[in-house]
Amino acid sequence: MEWTSIIAIYALFWVLSAFLVMPFGIRTHDEADVAKVQGQADSAPVNFQPGRIALRAAVLAAVLFGLYYANYVNGWITPNDLNFFGTPPGYEG
Whether 20 maps to a domain, the answer reads yes
Neighbouring C-beta atoms of residue 72, cutoff 10 Å = 15
Rounded distance between C-alpha atoms, residue 9 and residue 13, angstroms: 6
Rounded distance between C-alpha atoms, residue 30 and residue 38, angstroms: 14
Closest CA to 6 of 78, 68, 76, 79: 68
The pLDDT value recorded for residue 93 is 63
Tens-digit pLDDT profile for residues 83-93: 888 887 888 76
Whether 92 maps to a domain, the answer reads no
Question: Whole-prediction pTM value?
Answer: 0.81
Tens-digit pLDDT profile for residues 27-70: 998 999 999 889 999 889 998 899 999 999 999 999 999 999 99
Whether 87 maps to a domain, the answer reads no
Whether 40 maps to a domain, the answer reads yes
Whether 21 maps to a domain, the answer reads yes
Rounded distance between C-alpha atoms, residue 59 and residue 43, angstroms: 27
- Give the range of the structural domain holding residue 51, as residue numbers without chain letter: 3-82
Q: What is the number of structural domains in the chain?
A: 1
The pLDDT value recorded for residue 84 is 87
